[in-house]
């Protein structure tokens, strides 16, 4: 059973960098053909795919967030990390990490077989 767990600060000040880590257990992030995504859901809105890193370490980003987003991984810890720069209150959301066999800017829940529980991040001074 694969498990994903997000961790990071729940409160970030405007203009700062948000950093979140997803720790994976029960499976390796280097296992062939899996993609590891960051997805967020602002209050009252739908799911937004932010980006992903694949089993080889290649990264993919949403065009709307590409300039502010960086995703990396630590294979020794079986973790992957999201950094979102220059945050504003509009970045307030529940942030999820999830696994899939492909990436698409449109999030279809059934295409992700494992999700983290989500972590609330609020951007406020």
Run of H or E including 60: strand 59-61
pLDDT in tens, 56-69: 999 999 999 999 99
Angstrom distances, CA of residue 88 to CA of 26, 74, 96, 99 = 35, 27, 18, 27
pLDDT score of 86: 97
pLDDT in tens, 66-119: 999 999 999 999 999 999 999 999 999 999 999 999 998 888 889 999 999 999
Per the listing, tokens 């799911």 go with 47
CB 98 within 8 Å of CB 110: no
Torsion of the alpha carbons at 27, 33, 66 and 85, rounded to the nearest 10? 10
Dist. CA 8–CA 19, nearest whole Å: 6
Burial of 10 per CB tally in 10 Å (0-12, 13-18, 19+): exposed
pLDDT score of 6: 98
Paired residues of 119 in beta bridges: 95
């Amino acid at each position: 059973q694969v498990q994903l767990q997000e961790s990071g600060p729940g409160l970030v000040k405007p203009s700062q960098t948000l950093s979140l880590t997803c720790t994976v257990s029960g499976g390796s992030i280097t296992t062939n053909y899996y993609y590891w995504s960051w997805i967020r859901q602002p209050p009252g809105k739908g799911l937004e795919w932010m980006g992903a890193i694949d089993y080889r370490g290649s990264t993919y980003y949403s065009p709307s967030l590409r300039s502010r987003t960086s995703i990396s991984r630590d294979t020794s810890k079986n973790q992957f990390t999201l950094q979102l720069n220059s945050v504003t209150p509009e970045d307030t959301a529940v942030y999820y990490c999830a696994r899939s066999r492909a990436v698409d800017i449109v999030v279809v829940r059934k295409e992700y077989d494992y999700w983290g529980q989500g972590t609330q991040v609020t951007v406020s001074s």
